[in-house]
Chain A
């Protein structure tokens, strides 16, 4: 993946840190990054929303052949979660062994380190999901 430069990372922090997203006022389509035009209905007005921090696990896999920049973290788990408002989100899964995962289990968002850039030592943070603590 790309080398991390601060401005490029910083401009997406609302979504990555807080699951803050943009909902089309006309059709309700959720966009993770602020769009100019709704991809579904082409309306141009959006409201800022915070996505639910909980949802259920639809599917998961383990990345065994990582991209550049992720070598030291592999193997890691990638999951597909359906949030409580129906939004689907792809996320790394944390604090869990693959054997403990079950399709349909309740998951919650947590704030984690995603990776460290090897050259400039910039640390990228973002969301990861983990089994909800009951």
Chain B
């Protein structure tokens, strides 16, 4: 089985790109990734998007992107796993490299939410939940998060102020990040005074309308030794769970994330202590906290201590969401998983500029579909 290397990354700024189309965004990110790797072409293209079929009514993104890149002729298709669609494209691309059938693959993620009205985007973001059950009664993604949030605070006797430190941390890290949607600091009071989106969940504990695209070039061992670009080694694993969290044994636990984390650590042959940087899936503050616990980086009900002790800061023991995470870099749904891995790659190849974390040699990115009904865990290692 061939090892998989990231040999190039490309990102667009996460923003509301009123003048730029979905196709242009994903093409821009893909071209940057090809240029970064120093490649003209690849053997296959995989594109992750959650919302393009709904908001732009554009499917068939594989053929669309291949044409935009002038690469029509090569196999190309889209991969979907709700908000984890970008990570799903990495998964498929990595498996193709491992199998030896491809030497170089382009994987991309894209979504452009500003093309929808607010209600349309809220609806579109519900496609990852059970439409005939929770969708039918108008229970939004955020309302399901809010129910979990209430249960969590009650069971563990933790106040909202402790959990709401997560978005504050993310904004601290996004300052000066060129591709971040919100590159500025916020205070805990700002989060706590922001309006409810579904109580107790507040607006600043969630993400906003975002457009963006990210791309990676994955290569096998043969190309890795030929290409001059900086490289990292990639391992990716995945797992699934029941779609509605309240049908699981414990709605305050993400078993799919636990499973994918364990599998990825085993395959990368590292322990949790060796993870130097972590990218957490903070679609909401409460998801971030439960993710830290389910993946074994904090004890049950105790993730807030990592925040309070500063361990997740850039200078802490486990720097987390080093470019701002979903909250502050931005969360263009299907693109997010690719942003997370691209950011780890920038860190491990010493190209993170002012956000550079010293000494890190491995990083982990966790990407969730829906309320962790799908979990992808990617581990990147520095190539010495």
Q: What residues make up the interface of A, taking CB atoms closer than 8 Å to B?
A: 1-2, 12, 16, 32-33, 39, 58-71, 73, 76, 78-80, 88-92, 103, 114-115, 124, 126, 128
Chain B residues with CB under 8 A of A39: 242
In the complex, are the beta carbons of B133 and A65 less than 8 A apart?
no
Q: Are B135 and A65 in contact (CB under 8 A)?
A: no
Query: Which interface class (under 10, 10 to 19, 20 to 34, 35 or more) fits B?
Result: 35 or more
The answer to whether A62 touches B136 (Cβ under 8 A) is no
Residues of A contacting B123 in the complex (Cβ-Cβ under 8 angstroms): 1, 67-69
The docked-state distance in angstroms from the alpha carbon of A92 to that of B137 is 7
Q: Is B326 an interface residue (CB 8 A)?
A: no
In whole angstroms, how far apart are the Cα atoms of A92 and B242 in the complex? 21
Q: Are B137's CB and A2's CB within 8 A?
A: no
Interface string of B178-216 (1 = CB under 8 A from A): 000000000000000001111111000000000000000
Kindly list chain B residues whose C-beta atoms are within 8 Å of the C-beta of A67: 119, 122-123, 126, 135, 138, 140
Taking the complex as formed, is B150 at the interface, i.e. its CB lies under 8 A from any CB of chain A?
Answer: yes
Q: Are A91 and B126 in contact (CB under 8 A)?
A: no
Contact with A along B242-253 (1 / 0, CB 8 A): 101011000100
Please indicate the chain B residues that have their CB under 8 angstroms from the CB of A114 in the complex: 136-138
B144 CB-CB contact with A under 8 Å: yes
- The residue of chain B having its C-beta at the shortest distance from the C-beta of A2 within the complex is B131
| B359 on interface, CB distance cutoff 8 Å | no
**Cα A39 to Cα B139 with chains together (Å):** 23
Known: A61-B198, A80-B246. A73 touches B146 (CB 8 A): no
Q: Which 5 A-B pairs have the closest CB atoms?
A: A61-B146, A67-B123, A59-B150, A70-B138, A68-B119
Tell me, in angstroms, the Cα distance from A69 to B131 when the chains sit together.
Answer: 13
Residues of A within 8 A of B119 (CB): 66-71
Q: Are B244 and A63 in contact (CB under 8 A)?
A: no
Of listed B117, B147, B150, residue having the most chain A CB within 10 A: B147
With most chain B CB atoms within 10 A of its CB, the pick from A2, A63, A66, A89 is: A63
**Is B143 on the interface with A (CB-CB < 8 A)?**
yes
| Contact between A2 and B246, CB atoms less than 8 A apart | no
Provide 29 A-B residue pairs closer than 8 Å at the C-beta atoms, listed in order of the A residue.
A12-B136, A16-B136, A39-B242, A59-B150, A59-B151, A60-B150, A61-B147, A61-B198, A63-B142, A63-B198, A65-B122, A65-B140, A66-B122, A66-B140, A68-B120, A68-B123, A69-B119, A69-B123, A76-B138, A78-B146, A80-B147, A88-B246, A88-B247, A90-B133, A90-B147, A114-B137, A124-B136, A126-B136, A126-B137
Q: Do residues A64 and B198 form an inter-chain contact, with CB atoms below 8 A?
A: yes
